[in-house]
Amino acid sequence: MERSIVRPAGLDLETPGRRDYYVALEHDSIWGDHLIPLTVFVGAHAKPGQGLVAFGSNHGNEYEGPMAIRHLMDDITLADVAGRIILVPVLNVAAFRAGTRDSTFDDRVNLNRAFVDDAGKRPGLAGITHRIAAFVREAIWSHVHVVIDLHAGGQVARFTQCTSFHPLEDPEQHRRIEQTARWFGTPLVITYQNETPGLLPSEAERLGKITIGTELGWGGAVQATGVRYARHGVTAAAIHNGQLRGTIEKIGHHAAGTQRMAAMVDRACFTPAPFAGHYEPLRECGEMVQAGDTIGLLHDFDRIDLPAWPVRAGVDGIVIAQAWAAPILQGQHILVVGRMRDFQS
């Protein structure tokens, strides 16, 4: 199927049918454009403001999302679409091309910190990454009520595979998000601190949308289970939120009844490095631990005769994440332990 190159104003997200686009945003260096792939399915019963969008590659070196969405482009048939489904396998094309978390070859900005006031509108916030954020705000948000932002740990951290969202004041929004998150089948569902400005999921949540994040892999590689969870979870979200016809069965830990929920909200959950060094894990992600347990060791090879610093759990709970690469910067979160919580739905 031919993929049309259009400016954001040329997107048609309303007329029934399937359309495949490259959305062109002006390049900052070459005489040309960054091209964001986008596929939209609109069914005969689509409603204004109702739809699902799934984003891959918010960060450029996290690959389960792009893989899963590429599969979904073939999995979904227009005849089965009741509402609106928007698939963006690679949102941050600048970072994806660089193979790095941020847009290294362009403005060096982290897209998941770029959803700030005046993004893409004024000097200092006008590079490609902020303009991608502006594109999402102006072209996507008004057409969807379900937002799925597929992440992995990249080179930053190794995670227990999970879906994620923030603590929410609206109990109904919390219930609907939690139910949607569980259908991915991951071992863990987490709530996490919402102190970082500029997050795509934070903005979607504030707009009242059913918003799911994930951590489905690590190391700049592709985890087969992560692709499976993403592919299944997006499909289930589309079915359960009225955008796709059909039925779907539970998978993974959701089906097995072994799925757990944890919160990594307060600062005691995070163990930062007091000095730059090299990390040696002693326990695995997903293990249950108690506050004070030694989960790993931080070595200082510049002072080789000093004993290694014990990296301890700050709270009782489950090991959600540990540093992936051995080299550690001072202040980096080496370890995250989540407090266990009960599902509310």
Tell me how far apart the alpha carbons of residues 200 and 251 are, in angstroms, rounded to a whole number: 27
**259 and 273 assigned to the same domain:** no
Say if residue 29's pLDDT is above 90: no
Tens digit of each residue's pLDDT (9 = 90 or more) over 242-284: 999 999 999 999 999 999 999 999 999 999 999 999 999 999 9
Say if residue 170's pLDDT is above 80: yes
**187 and 213 assigned to the same domain:** yes
Confidence of residue 2 (pLDDT cuts 50, 70, 90): confident
- Of residues 202, 339, 328, the one with CA closest to residue 268: 339
Rounded to an integer, the average pLDDT of 310-338 is 97
Listed residues 233, 264, 295: the one ending a domain: 264
Which DSSP string do the residues of 260-276 spell out, in sequence order? EEEEE-SGGGEEE-SS-
Listed residues 264, 289, 313: the one ending a domain: 264
Rounded to an integer, the average pLDDT of 285-294 is 98
């506050």: which residue's tokens?
Answer: 291
Tell me how far apart the alpha carbons of residues 155 and 219 are, in angstroms, rounded to a whole number: 5
Confidence of residue 1 (pLDDT cuts 50, 70, 90): low
Say if residue 196's pLDDT is above 90: no
**117 and 217 assigned to the same domain:** yes
**118 and 168 assigned to the same domain:** yes
For residue 316, the domain's CATH number is 2.40.50.100
**193 and 278 assigned to the same domain:** no
- Sort strands 4-6 and 33-42 into parallel, antiparallel or unpaired: unpaired
Rounded to an integer, the average pLDDT of 71-98 is 97
- The percent of the chain in helix, strand and coil, each rounded to the nearest 5, is 25, 30, 45
Neighbours of 7 (CB within 10 A): 13
Tell me how far apart the alpha carbons of residues 126 and 107 are, in angstroms, rounded to a whole number: 9
**320 and 302 assigned to the same domain:** yes
- The 3-class SS string of 55-107 reads ECCCCCCCCHHHHHHHHHHHHCCHHHECCEEEEECCCCHHHHHHCCCCCCCCC
**171 and 251 assigned to the same domain:** yes
pTM of the predicted model as reported, rounded to 2 decimal places: 0.96
**Token pair recorded at residue 215:** 């951590």
Say if residue 218's pLDDT is above 80: yes
pLDDT for residue 31: 87
Say if residue 174's pLDDT is above 90: yes
Rounded to an integer, the average pLDDT of 102-127 is 93
Could you tell me the strand order of the sheet in which 277-281 lies?
Answer: 309-312, 294-299, 277-281, 327-328
Q: Are 90 and 96 in contact (CB under 8 A)?
A: yes
**127 and 229 assigned to the same domain:** yes
Domain count of the fold of the chain: 2
**271 and 331 assigned to the same domain:** yes
Listed residues 264, 298, 317: the one ending a domain: 264
Tens digit of each residue's pLDDT (9 = 90 or more) over 32-49: 999 999 999 999 999 999
**178 and 313 assigned to the same domain:** no
Domain that holds residue 225: 4-264
pLDDT for residue 194: 87
**260 and 271 assigned to the same domain:** no
For residue 195, the domain's CATH number is 3.40.630.10
**283 and 243 assigned to the same domain:** no
